[in-house]
Structure 1
Amino acid sequence: MTTMSDTDADPDTDLAGDTDELARRAERAALRLANADEATRNEALRSIADAIRERESEILDANAVDVEEAEAMLADGEYTQALVDRLKLDATKIESIASMVESVAEQDDPLGETLSARELDEDLELYRVAVPIGVVATVFESRPDALVQIAALALKSGNAVVLKGGSEASESNRVLHEAIADATADLPDGWAALIEAHEEVDRLLELDDRVDLVMPRGSSEFVSYIQSNTQIPVLGHTEGVCHVYVDSDADLEMAEDVAFDAKVQYPAVCNAVETLLVHESVADAFLPDLVERYEAAGVELRGDERTREAVDVDPATADDWDTEYGDLELSIKVVDDAYAAIEHVNDHGSKHTESILTEDAETAERFMTGVDAASVFHNASTRFADGYRYGLGAEVGISTGKVHARGPVGLEGLTTYKYYLEGDGHLVASYSGEDALPFTHRELDGVEWTPGRLSTR
């Protein structure tokens, strides 16, 4: 376990050199961790959970320092309330973090699974087998629990990880990292590292020969910066502009509860709804009670012209439809039909999470297949878009791209595959020329790869 920080380093230290060495150690550790058996990785995860519980007071004391500084920055207008909310830890949150780590340990092992098996010829068999990606770098803001989530998923999936948290959570991150370090002292040195200096991040983004994947978590500007400054593959999302569409055939009582939950339950996260779309035929019946409920919860509301004919809210601007508020703010738009809702979502959404509320199955199908998003729900709150709630144990982040992984990225998203070929002295020359042998190319259903399978069967 490695920590490299601009707060305790000699001012003359070459941070680029430090970061290069950190990446080299992570690369070596990744190769060794890939060969650690499931029992070893699970035992280490349970030790991490125990260490977090044992150090609860120390973690909360460190977090209190971060929160105090963040609230001062909030008062000066430099931080948002959403950021401060994401930063805060309490005893309940500490327990949920520890439980999350245990839930990751309980997940099926993502490594070593035979994804496909094919006989090329007699005693010549090809296997595609799940393996770790290697070295994963994660750069995240505000939420200290993200550090533990990411480290736990990396460990379970056999990956080394480089962690860079935001300066606003620096005290919390250090103590959480120390707890992980103490609990995993027997694992390969360098499997997880915490860096803090911005210069280290810039250097890390240059190390495409050693770092295999970058997963940023934060604002759209932050993620865009990462994407623009590295040749390493980046898995992440730039915004969480999520929608709930209330159809003409919606159960309006259910729709009110879902739309309220999607905004108010926890507005500071990327899967909270930012725009509510309402079919014109139910706007007059649906919006007044919901608006009253929103306003009682402190939600600041904006609406288009047709919305303002039904309820008294502030006018929405063109920018509102593209805004991720991350707070108790919501824009409302009345639309002609499901097709108009789909068009609005595809024009303004961020490909994160969308939801339709309707009792009409055909309309639900049309919406769910028509919008371009990583997750699309029917009669459910957008807040369900989460690795833990999906049963993934936890998540490294949300991916709104379409390559490699999409939606909440859990253990499977941190694996790739290798091809293993088992033979018995086979030569390519035997399969070319006039007397070439034919390939059988026969699928081997239910056959698992094991080393030396042909010689031991």
Structure 2
Amino acid sequence: MRQAARPPCGRGDGRHASSPLVSPSPYTCVKAKRGGEMPDIRDVARHMKLESPEMASVSLQVRNDALLRIKQALQESKERIFAANAKDLAAADEANVAPAVRKRLLFDEHKLADVCAGIDSLVSLPDPVGRVLLRRELDQGLVLSRVTCPIGVIGVIFEARPDAMVQISTLCIKSGNCAMLKGGSETLNTNREMFEVIRAAALSAGLPDACLYLAEAHREVDELLGCYGYVDLLIPRGSNAFVRYIMDNTKIPVMGHADGICHVYVDKAAEVPMAVRICLDAKTQYTAACNAAETLLVHRDVAAKFLPPMAEAYREAGVTLRGDKAVRDLVGCEPATEDDWDTEYLAPIISAKVVDNIDQAIDHINRHGSHHTDAIVTDDDAAAKRFMRLVDSAGVYQNASTRFADGFRYGFGAEVGISTGKLHARGPVGLDGLVTYKYELHGSGQVVGDYAEGRSHFHFRDLD
């Protein structure tokens, strides 16, 4: 590995300094794996946990400098990254992988430009660390603050999509977290080259040695799942079966989503040309994405006007339409079965159903959806308000494509994934989802006994 030397840094500027409490690093990145014995991942996780406070204390200036160095290094090293990606694509072609999967594997000039734009956006965002969320005077000279801080050590396990390597690494750096990364074997060569470039640039800015680690062996997934107590959070990105396996086989908290069964409901008050445009984009802009629409619900009063032009647009785009009897009576298409309502196609296929009213649409979404992203197309604001209030999903839209469910499109710079859970973070997870908070109490000699025995009294007063 071409690794920049780590410069000596004093703690006065917020950079990393060696600590007597931190043991020597048990690994030297990927180099050890290529020619020597693999480090034990629990040793790596243990070391990261010990060094995570150092990473959390790195100044915003140094973290932003690391991001800019990573962007420059990616641009300067693009030919070797593209060459590595060509090897992965050739292997995928030989294995006859599905077109949707192969599209995710590709890393080209367009995706490089996208990740670089994401880095620029991250640099421009305010520091998520050290924000004071609450300041409360409990008594004179006794002040409580709630202050944001990094989560610590985050393990991210992702399939395909080498651009995820950049997004995850840079988000963790900006938020002051250490990251253990495990990419899929289908992009082994691309991930390895990109990681070496990213880590070398990060260390050259003065980040701690343990800021990033790349796991490559398949066995390391199960070893990572067993790192309870050292890894603070796991974020899986991949198929339904893959995410469920992660959730079922670890004690570490997991943040993510298993399915992406997204809906578009075309209301009776929808403008038909707009509805056709939105539904086409939601299905075809990128069919392999988790925020692509998989089911179309149509109000009976607008079905005769909307479905014929929609079916024609899908046919022209190469999308297979599967419909219930009411849909088939209006347009010729394949029949939809009950299983279709619970299917994430990730392919140019969409199921369609006619509903009698908005409440039937809401009920269908809450029963069959994955609580990811669902949209209503309507000019009736009251209907939209009811839909948004009652649909239990991380993202609920009016007159917009479900494909907008993305950290970059939300102005987060990028995302480590999308969460359909309701604890800590929900929807596209950007910087705010990668920090937690701690309580800081500043006193002047107070003891609880004085309050318990009535000598002192609380007079809670919020400050600022």
Query: Are 1:173 and 2:191 counterparts?
Result: yes
In the alignment, structure 1 segments of 5+ residues that lack a partner are: 447-457
**Alignment RMSD:** 1.4
Q: Distance in 2 between matches of 1:73 and 1:104?
A: 37
Measure the CA separation in 2 of the matches of 1:107 and 1:23. Answer: 29
Aligned to 2:164: 146
> Residue 396 of structure 1 is aligned with which of 412, 416, 429?
416
Alignment of 1:118-129 (within 5 A): 118-129=136-147
Secondary structure of residue in 1 paired with 2:146: strand
Corresponding position of 2:307: 287
Distance (whole Å) between structure 1 residues aligned to residue 346 and residue 32 of structure 2: 30
**Shift, 1:5, TM fit:** 8.8
**In the alignment, is residue 363 of structure 1 matched against residue 403 of structure 2?**
no
- How do 1:45-444 residues align onto structure 2 when only pairs under 5 Å count? 45-74=67-96, 79-185=97-203, 186-433=206-453, 435-444=454-463
Deviations 1:110-152 (A, max 9, x none): 0000000100110110000000000000000000000110010
Query: How much has 1:92 moved relative to structure 2?
Result: 1.7
Q: CA deviation at 1:428?
A: 1.4
| TM-score, with structure 1 as normaliser | 0.93
Say if 2:115 and 2:166, in contact at 8 Å, map to a contact too.
Answer: yes
* Cα deviations by residue, 1:256-310 (Å, 9 ceiling, x for unpaired): 1000010111111000000011111111111111111111111111111110000
Residues 217 and 397 of structure 1 are in contact (CA less than 8 Å); yes or no, is this contact kept in structure 2? yes
Whether the 8 Å contact between 1:6 and 1:197 is mirrored in structure 2 is: no
The aligned counterpart of 1:41 is 63
- Note if contact 2:393-2:420 (Cα within 8 Å) is conserved in structure 1: yes
- In structure 2, which of residues 50, 65, 77 is the aligned counterpart of residue 28 of structure 1? 50
Deviation of 1:4 (Å): 5.0
Deviations 1:219-247 (A, max 9, x none): 01000000000000000000100000000
1:3 maps to 29
SS in 2 for 1:341: helix
For 1:398 and 1:3, how far apart are their aligned partners in 2? Answer: 28
Q: Residue 192 of structure 1: CA displacement?
A: 0.5
Contact 1:63 1:88 in 2 (8 A): yes
Counterparts of 1:398 and 1:120, CA distance in 2:
38
Number of equivalenced pairs: 436
Amino acid at match of 1:44: A
Secondary structure of the 1:244 match is strand
- The structural deviation recorded for 1:28 is 2.7
Tell me what 1:453 maps to: none
**2:95 counterpart SS class:** helix
For the residues of structure 1 that align with 2:28 and 2:282, how far apart are their CA atoms? 39
Give the 3-state SS of the residue equivalent to 2:243 in structure 1.
Answer: helix
C-alpha separation in 2, matches of 1:439 and 1:349: 48
- Give the SS at the match of 1:245: strand
Deviation at 1:353, TM superposition (A): 0.1
Unaligned runs of 5+ residues in structure 2 are 1-26
Contact 2:121 2:411 survives alignment (8 Å) = no
Q: What amino acid maps onto 1:92 in structure 2? A: H
Instruction: State the alpha-carbon separation in 2 of the partners of residues 72 and 282 from structure 1.
Output: 47
Give the whole-Å Cα distance in 1 for the aligned partners of 2:114 and 2:79.
15
How far off is 1:436 after superposition?
Answer: 2.5
Listed one character per residue, the Cα deviations across residues 95-120 of structure 1 (whole Å, up to 9, x for unaligned) are: 21112112111111000000001001
Q: For residues 330-364 of structure 1, what are the alpha-carbon distances to aligned partners after superposition, in whole Å with 9 as ceiling and x for unaligned?
A: 11111111001001101100000000000111111
* SS of equivalent residue, structure 1 residue 221: helix
Q: 1: CA distance between counterparts of 2:47 and 2:251?
A: 21
1:417 and 1:359 mapped to 2: Cα distance? 41
Distance 1:208 1:44 in 2: 29
CA distance in 2, matches of 1:313, 1:207: 50
User: Which 4+ runs in 1 deviate beyond 2 A?
Assistant: 1-10
The change in CA–CA distance for 1:293 and 1:68 in structure 2 (over 3 A counts) is same
Offset, 1:441: 0.9
Q: Distance in 2 between matches of 1:327 and 1:49?
A: 32
What is the Cα deviation at residue 8 of structure 1?
A: 3.0
Question: Which residue identity does 1:268 align to in structure 2?
Answer: A
Shift of 1:20: 1.3
Distance in 2, matches of 1:25 and 1:102, equals 30
1:201 Cα offset (Å): 1.3
Between the two proteins, what is the percent identity of the paired residues?
Answer: 49
Equivalence for 2:41:
19
